[in-house]
Chain A
Amino acid sequence: MVNVPNPVALAPPVYGSVPGDLSVRIRRSAEYVAIPFFALAVSALLFSVFLLALGKSPLEFFQLVERGGFGTAFSLQNTLQRSAPLILTALAVAVPARIGLIMIGGEGALVLGGFAAAVLSIPMVGHLPPFPTLCLMATAAMVIGGGWVGIAGYLRHARGVNETISTLLLTYIGIAIMNFFVEGALRDLSNPNKPSTKPLGEAYMVGHIPGTDVHWGLAAGIVLAILLQILMSRTTFGFAVRVCGGNPRAALAQGLPVGKLIVLCAMISGACAGLAGFFEVAAIQGRANASLVAGYGFTGILVSFLARHNPVAIIPVALLFGGIVASGGLIERRMGLPDATVLVLQGLTFLVLLVSETLYGRFAIFRVTGTVERT
Chain B
Amino acid sequence: MSQAPALVVLIALIGGAIRVSTPFMFVALGECLTEKSGRVNLGLEGTLVLGAMCAYATAYHTGSPWLGVLAAGAAGAVLGAMHGYICKLPRVNDIAIGIAMMSFGTGVAFFFGKPYIQPQAPRLGALPLGAWTGNPQLAASLEVSPLLLLGIAVAALMAWAFANTRWGLIVRMTGDSAPAAKAMGVSVDLVRFLTTTMGGFLAGIGGAFLSLYYPGSWNQGLSSGQGLMAVALVIFARWSPVRCVVAALLFGAAGAIGPSLQSVGVNQGYYFFNAAPYILTLFIMVLSAKSKRAAHDVPGELSITK
Contact = CB atoms under 8 A, between A and B. Distances in A.
Contacts of A339: 110
A330 interface: no
B89 A155 contact: no
Nearest to B274: A176
B104 A344 contact: yes
Contacts of A344: 104, 107-108, 111
A354 B97 contact: yes
A161 B104 contact: no
A272 interface: no
A353 B89 CA distance: 13
A135 interface: no
Interface stretch (B144-152, B191-199, B283-291): B283-291
Interface size of B as a range: 35 or more
Interface string B247-286: 0000000000000000000001111101100110110011
Interface string A351-362: 101110110100
A355 B306 CA distance: 23
Nearest to A8: B93
A104 B114 CA distance: 28
B1 interface: no
Main secondary structure on chain A at its contact with chain B? helix
A168 interface: yes
Nearest to B97: A354
B303 interface: yes
Interface stretch (B68-76, B180-188, B225-233): B225-233
A351 B97 contact: yes
Interface string B92-106: 110111011101111
Contacts of B82: 351
A338 B269 CA distance: 35
A161 B106 contact: no
A348 B106 CA distance: 11
Interface stretch (A73-81, A179-187, A260-268): A179-187
B93 A357 contact: yes
Contacts of B96: 10, 102, 305, 354
Interface of A: 6, 8-10, 102, 104, 155, 159-162, 164-166, 168-170, 172-173, 176-177, 179-180, 183-184, 298, 301-302, 305, 337-341, 343-348, 350-351, 353-355, 357-358, 360
Interface of B: 42, 46, 82, 86, 89-93, 95-97, 99-101, 103-108, 110-111, 114, 225, 228-229, 231-232, 268-272, 274-275, 278-279, 281-282, 285-286, 289-290, 303-306
